[in-house]
Amino acid sequence: MANTFTLISSVTLSSSAATISFTSIPATYTDLLIKLSSRSDRSGNTSADQYIQFNGNTSAVYSMRRLMGNGSSTSGDSSSGATGAFVGDATAPSATASTFANTEIYIPNYTSSNAKSILISSVTENNATEAYQIFNASLWNPATQAAITSLLIGTVTSNNFVQYTTAYLYGISNA
């Protein structure tokens, strides 16, 4: 198990933005961990799907398996050939005002020359029966493998993250 967590960088949006980016990620850690508190401006919905892309790669080389509950039912699905890895939901305007979803994204072995696995746990906030709890595993498998040096998080529906959405990027060392 990890011995140390080091904050590499953090972002708190001062106004709405389509994406959150981390660049120049050092190759000095074993794993990466992202803590995300997010809300979207996607109108008419209680949530908005989020995605992550690595090293500017927008090719269809991401896949996932997901388990989800929404307060009244559960489901599971999978996909492949996506242009970004699914990483849970952001809370949206139809949910309780001023609440944010919480997401944790764990990326082991981010400097290896192999495909990168991504483990995600996400929950939206809503003072009603519909709120989402999501667990999924994703994979980034480009033709040319490389260490992750940058990442971008956005919403699938091309909406914006709202002011005060926050992301923390940690490096984990097993030293």
More confident residue, 105 or 72: 105
Instruction: Indicate the pTM of the whole model.
Output: 0.92
pLDDT band at 1 (very low <50, low <70, confident <90, very high): low
Instruction: Give the whole-number percent of the chain exceeding pLDDT 90.
Output: 69
pLDDT at 94 over 90: no
Alpha carbons 131 and 144: distance in angstroms, whole number:
38
pLDDT value of residue 175: 59
Mean pLDDT computed over 110-135: 88
More confident residue, 21 or 71: 21
Instruction: Give the whole-number percent of the chain exceeding pLDDT 70.
Output: 98
pLDDT at 127 over 90: no
pLDDT band at 128 (very low <50, low <70, confident <90, very high): confident
pLDDT value of residue 16: 95
